Amino acid sequence: MSAADPRSRVPRTDRLLADPRIGSAGAGLGAAAVRAAITAAQGRARAGEIAPEDVASAVVAELSARGASSLTPVLNATGVVVHTNLGRAPLSDAARQALQDASGYVDVELDLTTGQRSGRGVAARQALLDACPAAEDALIVNNGAAALVLATTALAAGREVVISRGEFVEIGAGFRLSDLMESTGARLREVGTTNRTHPADYRDAMGPETGCLLKVHPSNFRVDGFTSSVPLAELRALADEHGVPLVVDVGSGLLTPDPALPHEPSLSEALEAGADAVIASGDKLLGGPQAGLLLGRTETIRRLARFPLARAVRADKLTLAALEATLRGGPTPVASALHADPQRVRERAEALAAAVGARVVEHDGRVGGGGAPGVPLPGWAVRLPEAAARPLRLGTPAVLPRVHDGACLVDPRCVPEERDADLLAAMRAALAEVG
């Protein structure tokens, strides 16, 4: 390589590692991440994409923009409140602070007064019971699917789980609850039809091999027309008649009935109707971290807690801390977005639209995450050219709009109002890029 070749001027790795600017930008990142950024910048210089003299600056820029995690914070402008692809529920300020506090050593299984080992997650469990007085006991595991697996394994491994055909649900990424339960060793006993199931269907199926009765809320879809299902009170009577537990999976984690979601089942309603154990997710309508919630009768919950599988699916200290803070703190971002005043959403949308010369259109938000399928959340969105969607997603901050009917729709419902200036800046940058 001749001295005239620009590639000969590419800084050596050891010199770049000794550069104090790179050391400062890479603080908090591992040595491998810093070296990878250096190698990438050197490669760009050798390919002629940047000048050799700009390598150090390119490394600093890369490291400054990179966090310890590859996850990118996103402003949710889709109008979908519990957006699974965006991590479902955004945590409250209280929950975020709790995560920070719990990131070091904490008394998760220690009684500081006595210095002796204590029960795990006692405070989070108590917060859950305080929020749902209909429950006698509670257990927290790492997600809703784990809660269902634990319940069916502990109560019905090698036996039958009686469930209506109309409640066979496929959850995200193609996972079917039926496959999930059968993987535990339980056998599914299907009763009724897709649209109609009667008490006699359950009664005829129950016998010595019945491990439990299971009722699942069919989230993500709704069956209308000529339909019937068996109320929990009647299932309770059937369970008592055969001496088996009644398990109810309500899915979305609504603690108490919400007038805005009139057909969404709540934990408290299921418990008051006689369920032995009720299952829900913590990161949907509850607005907390990913967690599986099991609430119910003391005998049933303790049976699940003693089962060996409970250790494999237990929640970690960060989940317990964030869940307790969610339950003890004020309104969550999910609750605020669900109950956002449509007029205020319109005012925000109009202000954004006026600033970029766009127009506002009516736009119904959605609950998302399988909650309240088909229930509209009246609102408004800024209509931009469809081409603006990509630069919005790739900008800083990243903004996820809804692309629909040949347009890019920016719905401020789920964007914190204090981030409207950031949203506006992102919209302006995206529109400037697409011309």
The ranges assigned to domains in the chain are 6-65, 74-85+336-434, 92-330
For 204, list phi and psi in degrees, rounded to 5.
Answer: -70, -25
AA letter at 97? Q
Asked if CATH classification 3.40.190.10 holds for the domain at 92-330, the reply, yes or no, is no
Euclidean distance between the first and the last CA atom of the chain, given in angstroms as a whole number: 43
> Is the peptide bond preceding residue 231 cis, with omega within 30 degrees of 0?
no
Given a contact cutoff of 8 angstroms between Cβ atoms, the answer to whether 277 and 297 are in contact is: yes
- Residue 168 pLDDT class (50, 70, 90 cuts): confident
Given a contact cutoff of 8 angstroms between Cβ atoms, the answer to whether 249 and 279 are in contact is: yes
Which residue stretches of 47-89 are H helix? 55-65
Chain-centre distance of CA 53, in angstroms? 45
Given a contact cutoff of 8 angstroms between Cβ atoms, the answer to whether 370 and 251 are in contact is: yes
Q: What is the pLDDT of residue 407?
A: 97
Closest CA to 178 of 205, 201, 160, 198: 160
Q: 317-328 and 93-102 are packed helices; what angle lies between their axes, rounded to 10 degrees?
A: 150
For 201, list phi and psi in degrees, rounded to 5.
Answer: -65, -45
CA distance 225 to 202: 22
Predicted confidence (pLDDT) per residue in 300-331, tens digit:
999 999 999 999 999 999 999 999 999 999 99
- Residue 195 pLDDT class (50, 70, 90 cuts): confident
Given a contact cutoff of 8 angstroms between Cβ atoms, the answer to whether 245 and 275 are in contact is: no
Burial of 71 (0-12, 13-18, 19+ CB in 10 A): exposed
CA distance 255 to 239: 24
Q: What is the pLDDT of residue 321?
A: 98
Q: What is the pLDDT of residue 1?
A: 54
Q: Over 70: is that where the pLDDT of 4 sits? A: no
What residues are paired with 407 via a beta bridge? 385, 404
DSSP type of residue 160: E
Tokens of 379: 């609102």
Q: Is 100 helix (H, G, I), strand (E, B) or coil?
A: helix
CA distance 365 to 367: 7
Q: Over 90: is that where the pLDDT of 166 sits? A: no
- pTM value > 0.85: yes
CA angle 336/291/158 to nearest 5° reads 140
**Structure-token match 């620009």, residue found:** 6
**Structure-token match 């829900």, residue found:** 280
Tokens of 204: 């005829």
What residues are paired with 294 via a beta bridge? 139, 279
Given a contact cutoff of 8 angstroms between Cβ atoms, the answer to whether 381 and 79 are in contact is: yes
Q: Over 60: is that where the pLDDT of 340 sits? A: yes
Q: Is 295 helix (H, G, I), strand (E, B) or coil?
A: strand
Q: What is the pLDDT of residue 185?
A: 80
Q: What is the pLDDT of residue 186?
A: 83
Question: What contacts 236, CB < 8 A, 6 or more positions away?
Answer: 246, 273, 274, 275
| Count of other CB atoms within 10 angstroms of residue 274 | 18
* Mean pLDDT across 397-405: 96
- Residue 3 pLDDT class (50, 70, 90 cuts): low
CA distance 410 to 216: 34
Sign of CA dihedral 13, 19, 22, 27: positive
The CATH T-level fold of domain 74-85+336-434 is Aspartate Aminotransferase, domain 1 (3.90.1150)
| Count of other CB atoms within 10 angstroms of residue 361 | 15
Q: What is the pLDDT of residue 138?
A: 98
Question: What contacts 308, CB < 8 A, 6 or more positions away?
Answer: none
Radius of gyration of the chain (CA): 26
CA angle 157/164/221 to nearest 5° reads 115
For residue 62, give the H/E element and its range. helix 55-65
- Residue 160 pLDDT class (50, 70, 90 cuts): very high
Mode of pairing for the β-strands spanning 359-362 and 380-385: antiparallel
**Structure-token match 């709704």, residue found:** 222
Q: Over 60: is that where the pLDDT of 219 sits? A: yes
